[in-house]
Structure 1
């Protein structure tokens, strides 16, 4: 897809992968609507921040309405990045924390995607990127809720691409390993380090998928840090 002058929506843009993706798309000449609960530290003529909580269909609808009113009616790209994880064993998980993860990580994708798909099908062009996780491909001890929500993201993505592919619309699910973001702030067992991937790395993968030939479709992309524990010391 040629990205210049086209419209993108990115959710969860306050920092991390979302913010890096916004910057990467702006660098490609796109007009970007950033949806989130907190505004990022970013000023750009082609960037529009809209306060939105993807847990709520009404909030997503309002954000979408503002996007098409201020940027244009044809949304070419949606990056479903908003998400969170809460660590804890299943029997210890608070019901509200469980709901928070599923409402954000799963329902948010449904609320956002359903609004852009009709326009993409009409244009016979469009691309939805869902940011999943390695936890969406395998179970992780102490993260049953998060892993369950990300398995749902995987299933939604793999079903949705089959629903829209014949209309020229792509759906790509990206499964990152550890990324140096604030995701790990409340997980005591993980220490953020420079051995993790950078948010910019994920953003570059998103751009690569978006710019691919119209008949070339990245369905699943798994990315991991090459040396998560650092470079192995040579034996003397």
Structure 2
């Protein structure tokens, strides 16, 4: 629970399943009002109805593909006109495909950057004027441990998450004097349908199954941090420790951890 969210308005992209859906329920438990965004309108409708009935908070939904920048602009123009304030934006929409550079297609590369990076930045740009006007707000960007510690067959995906972390760090400095908080969330593998597309062979999930995070646990930590000046949320702790060692001595770490890197 987070009492700071009572009667606040929280936007979540990619809210129709996985971590986004788990976040929606955790925000509602804390008394926050929700604006749910995703491509699958029927799933959003079901989630929104359940939240309205169970938690008695406001829960609205909008069909949105963040890859379509014009659609992002139009949807957020509607939202900013209908709602007096936006307190939190969670940029959660994203996807990955685990393939080597040679095997992955250029269209897959383009799609990952359009969703994971351009869409995230576009959504952020749309809410910043409102947050500046109200002199407070919180941008939460779902990045990944893959953005800190790249592994084979995740070159395109890791590149997008590196970009998200870089964008988040720069944005934080730009708005730090305006009472707008900016947080990067860097989870390891989460047990969601993300891997239905990312890992079609099922090999990676099989190899790391016992280490996968539960979306409810990740959502709980994120919601607790909402409207606080939290720089990063890194999960699990041991993977964050490994990524720190990697940044200190990358060549040595790659040599020692070579077997662990080739799980895909």
TM-score (ref. length: structure 2): 0.79
Distance 1:219 1:117 in 2: 18
Range moving further from structure 2, 12-21 or 23-32 = 23-32
Can you give the 5+ residue segments of structure 2 that lack an aligned partner in the other structure?
Answer: 53-57, 240-264
What SS does structure 2 have at the residue aligned with 1:91?
coil
Deviation at 1:220, TM superposition (A): 1.8
Relative to structure 1, the CA distance from residue 126 to residue 155 in structure 2 (aligned partners, 3 Å threshold; closer, same or farther) is same
Query: Is residue 2:146 matched to residue 1:135?
Result: yes
Relative to structure 1, the CA distance from residue 160 to residue 211 in structure 2 (aligned partners, 3 Å threshold; closer, same or farther) is closer
Please, which of 182, 196, 220 is the counterpart of residue 171 of structure 1? Answer: 182
Please, which of 218, 229, 233 is the counterpart of residue 202 of structure 1? Answer: 218
Range moving further from structure 2, 132-141 or 54-63 = 54-63
Task: Indicate conservation of the 8 Å contact 1:178/1:225, yes or no.
Answer: no
What SS does structure 1 have at the residue aligned with 2:4?
coil
Q: Determine the structure 2 residue equivalent to 1:231.
A: none
Task: Indicate conservation of the 8 Å contact 1:9/1:32, yes or no.
Answer: yes
Q: Determine the structure 1 residue equivalent to 2:132.
A: 121
Q: Determine the structure 1 residue equivalent to 2:250.
A: none
Task: State the Cα RMSD in Å.
Answer: 1.8
Relative to structure 1, the CA distance from residue 169 to residue 211 in structure 2 (aligned partners, 3 Å threshold; closer, same or farther) is closer
Distance 1:69 1:121 in 2: 15
Please, which of 65, 68, 75 is the counterpart of residue 86 of structure 2? Answer: 75
Instruction: List structure 1 runs of 4+ shifted beyond 6 angstroms.
Output: none
Q: Determine the structure 2 residue equivalent to 1:22.
A: 24
Q: Determine the structure 2 residue equivalent to 1:89.
A: 100
Query: Is residue 2:73 matched to residue 1:61?
Result: yes
Distance 2:103 2:70 in 1: 31
Distance 2:100 2:89 in 1: 33
Alignment: residue pair count: 222
Q: Answer 1 or 2: which has greater helix percent.
A: 2
Can you give the 5+ residue segments of structure 1 that lack an aligned partner in the other structure?
Answer: 228-236
Distance 2:74 2:10 in 1: 16
Q: What do the CA deviations read for 1:171-218 (whole angstroms, capped 9, x no partner)?
A: 000100111101111312222646421111111111111153xxxx21
Q: Determine the structure 1 residue equivalent to 2:204.
A: 190
Deviation at 1:226, TM superposition (A): 6.8
Distance 1:226 1:143 in 2: 20
Range moving further from structure 2, 42-51 or 12-21 = 42-51
Query: Is residue 2:38 matched to residue 1:33?
Result: no
Distance 1:113 1:48 in 2: 19
What SS does structure 2 have at the residue aligned with 1:90?
coil
